[in-house]
């Protein structure tokens, strides 16, 4: 039976991230005993950015968003994701 190393205590998330970048989790965890779980209420982390758009584009986005009854910023995210998916398929 394999002896697993103890996972150290971390001061913060950055310290933990740095640790796992240079260590193999298989030395610490018996993945054969792992169980699949889902976290249905997790929301993806977001980052605020500043984006300069010509006013006419913003006006058109707001009009389209109003027709779909969604916030215009949500519509921008939808459009970006659709285009990213399309570009990735073509690679």
Residue ranges of domains in the chain: 13-89
pLDDT tens readout for residues 50-72: 999 999 999 999 999 999 999 99
pLDDT tens readout for residues 11-50: 999 999 999 999 999 999 999 999 988 888 888 888 999 9
pLDDT band at 10 (very low <50, low <70, confident <90, very high): very high
* DSSP string across 37-76: ---TT-------------HHHHHHHHHHHHHHTS-HHHHH
Q: pTM score, two decimals? A: 0.54
């Amino acid at each position: 039976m394999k002896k697993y190393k103890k996972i150290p205590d971390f001061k913060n998330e950055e310290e933990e991230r740095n640790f796992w970048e240079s260590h193999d989790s298989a030395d610490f965890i018996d993945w054969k005993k792992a169980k699949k779980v889902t976290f249905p209420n997790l929301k993806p982390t977001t980052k605020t950015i500043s984006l300069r758009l010509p006013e006419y584009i913003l006006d058109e986005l707001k009009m389209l968003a109003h027709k779909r009854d969604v916030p215009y910023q949500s519509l921008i995210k939808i459009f970006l994701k659709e285009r990213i998916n399309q570009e990735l398929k073509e690679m």
